[in-house]
Structure 1
Amino acid sequence: MWNLFQPKASRSRGRRRGDQIWLFLLFLGVVGYLVWDAYLRPIPPVYKASGGLELYFAPEQGRAAKGRLIGLIGAAQNRIEVAALELEDREIGQALVQAAARGVRVRMLNDSDYRRETHESLGVSSSSPARCETLQRIQVCYDSRPNALMHHKFVVVDDLGVWTGSTNLTWNAFERNNENSLWLPVPGLVQVYRAEFEALFAGQENGLGRSARFQIGSTLGAVYFSPAGGQKARNAILELLGRAQREIWVAAYVLTDTRIVEALVKAHRRGVQVRVVIDARNLSNSRDETLKQASIDVRKDGNPYTMHHKIIVVDGEWVITGSYNFTNSGFGRNNENLLILRDSTLAQRYKREVEAVWRAGTRL
């Protein structure tokens, strides 16, 4: 009531100060909630597993990785969902056919550019132009968008876990290319990936884009889906790069996202050691010149086939991986899944892989 006796100008200034304080408190509340939601919110038990994470690097461990995937398919009892850019491996194809023959419900989503490879891998002949068809008791649908890729590489097995990473389901991917594959045995992740698959399979071709946090042993993780959740995925990458303090290692099949390139340059300028290796075939499409102009040590890879990684390792503690290429299409058009993992032991394994690829490359 005392402000009634103040001059009007004074009361106006007081109200403005009060409004500013309330806006500031509101801002703090919003930021606090976002931090809590992203990092401090308890992870529900269904998104936790005591252990069992598996990591494979091809080509050195490519045969072991494919053998493990075929074993998982062979052990399935109820259902398998496959979302893969392409299926061009007859061993994996026949494992899926055998699973379907013994009564497992097998469904698969591929990019429409790879119908022929799917038919050959499943041992069938078909000229159907339909979006969906049944092949060897397997329900197969194809993405129909003309300017985007169904770029996932994941397999969901029963309620046991999710197989994902950079590795296409092709012979070359396991035998020749630089790739990484993960087995994530978390029931909650099964639910998240399966929900994304169900939407895509039903024709909702941008997906759901629901992110989720999870934990496997000491490994903390988050998963994001593009394009519906692509901006959130991209922001998570940029935030992590913005917090880097010591070092960033990048192995990129292609690198065209200017925001990510800018974040790498800014990190380098504030004293973070940044090292980048890019697939030699994609240099003409990537922004390696911007990195070189900033005096960042960037190399083209030395694999005569394909360096297909999409890996960033930050400060020996954080790993970014998945099917997500570091491009505008990666967050804006294509179907992708991005994983951000926090575990120093796991990060060191990824760092050794990226460093080996980087050292085998040629400085630009």
Structure 2
Amino acid sequence: MGRSILPKKILVRISMIWQQGFLPTSINLINQACFLPLMRRYVLLIVIILLGFSYYQDLDFSGMTGSIVASESYVQDQGSIQVYFCPREGCETAFTNFISTAEESVHCALFDIGLPSVQEVLLSKERQGLDVKVVTDNDYIHKFTYDFVREDSWGLMHDKFCIIDGKKISTGSMNPTNNGVDKNNNNLLLIDSKTLAQNYDAEFQEMWDGDFKKGEPVQNPSVKLDGVKIENYFCPEDHCAAHIKEELQKAETSIHLLTFSFTNDGIGDMILLKHRDGILIRGVMEARQVTDDSEYDRIIYQDMDVLKDGNPNNMHHKVFIIDGKTVITGSMNPTGSGDERNDENILIIHDEKIAQRFLQEFEYVYKEAEGKQN
């Protein structure tokens, strides 16, 4: 702890000045009465500065390296991450098997629930007496009208996640529909993590209680899962677009993007800036979503290697891959609605192995897009 290093004689002299008012005794008493309060304040200020300086001198800055950087605080956790790409890696089977493992509870926030296999496994778990709760968007509630489903009331509840037994989650871009698993390009992540499960369940409970498009910030945004750093955010309360831009800004060599809908100018600006910095930009965007307000034209005008997709259905990913080491994925399209209006979630995964899996998917989708261009 810091301590004063002022010599005792100086402290004594300061005390004497304070007692005497910092003025010679020969000065007119009236003038002295006027100036005494001012001088005492002046002396007090000097004392505070000197004491503060002495405290500063006594601190140990030997570990500093020239700049102050906020330390990252990650919650340590143990678990695993499995990644599936639809339609070529059996997403329906992986997802229904995942729900089938539930022994206590199944909490799902799903934009659409069109797969009979998913509906049946949810109902089966409810009949077994498990705590089964589902939130779905109001436009799709007619497909699954049981009493444990609550509907959204405004905008889109665009999430695609489930929490099993409070200790593992599913998330990604995949809607459990026939198109979502068999026709559209999607990703599905199955993650064993109690910390992430707590985050997602807290978000689920807010929506189950009727709090859509708002809520408390995520409790544990940074998790280290068996050494893998993961960031977790919910939109709109956690300002997802800002975190995406912040991560894109860190790119040193490359950015690969797969986007269903891309209209967010702020994220588009960051892509343009990184291109001008010499960063390699490659991408595929859903052709039907290339509209007047899309970022596609701005990107193409700068001669970036970005194509319209070649899937006759939908290229439905919402993915950025940075430097081949970091992946951003989830339910959020990089749009204004995705960031500010809809209920969404994103994960930022700092792991080269997972990033390479997503790069393989990128090349698959890119090759499909190239075929359409030719």
For the criterion TM > 0.5, the same-fold answer is yes
- Cα RMSD, aligned residues only: 2.6
1:270 deviates by: 0.5
2:252 maps to 1:224: no
2:196 maps to 1:196: no
Q: How many residues align?
A: 316
Whole-angstrom CA distance in 2 between matches of 1:68 and 1:157: 14
Aligned partner of 1:73 in structure 2 is: 99
Percent identical pairs in the alignment equals 29
2:366 maps to 1:358: yes
Post-superposition CA distance 1:237-284 (Å, at most 9, x none): 111111111010000001100011110010000100001210111011
2:241 maps to 1:234: yes
Alignment equivalent of 2:330, drawn from 316, 322, 325: 322
Q: Helix, strand or coil for the counterpart of 2:171?
A: strand
Whole-angstrom CA distance in 1 between matches of 2:260 and 2:216: 23
Letter of the aligned partner of 2:323 in structure 1? Answer: D
Does the aligned pair in 2 maintain the 1:249–1:355 contact within 8 Å? no
1:296 deviates by: 1.0
In terms of Rg, which structure is larger?
A: 2
1:209 deviates by: 4.8
Q: What are the within-5 Å matches in structure 2 for residues 1-364 of structure 1?
A: 32=68, 35-36=70-71, 40-41=72-73, 43-45=74-76, 48-49=77-78, 51-61=79-89, 63=90, 65-119=91-145, 135=146, 139-145=148-154, 148-211=155-218, 212-229=221-238, 231=239, 233-284=240-291, 285-362=293-370
TM-score (norm 2): 0.79
Identify if the C-alpha distance between structure 1 residues 173 and 220 changes in structure 2 by more than 3 Å, giving closer, same or farther: same
Does the aligned pair in 1 maintain the 2:167–2:195 contact within 8 Å? no
Q: Helix, strand or coil for the counterpart of 2:170?
A: strand
Does the aligned pair in 1 maintain the 2:167–2:198 contact within 8 Å? no
Does the aligned pair in 2 maintain the 1:209–1:224 contact within 8 Å? no
Unpaired runs of at least 5, structure 1 = 6-10, 120-134
Whole-angstrom CA distance in 1 between matches of 2:216 and 2:162: 17
TM-score (norm 1): 0.81
1:200 deviates by: 0.7
Unpaired runs of at least 5, structure 2 = 1-13, 24-41, 57-63
Does the aligned pair in 1 maintain the 2:166–2:201 contact within 8 Å? no
Q: Helix, strand or coil for the counterpart of 1:350?
A: helix
Q: Helix, strand or coil for the counterpart of 2:241?
A: helix
Does the aligned pair in 1 maintain the 2:320–2:327 contact within 8 Å? yes
Q: Helix, strand or coil for the counterpart of 1:360?
A: helix
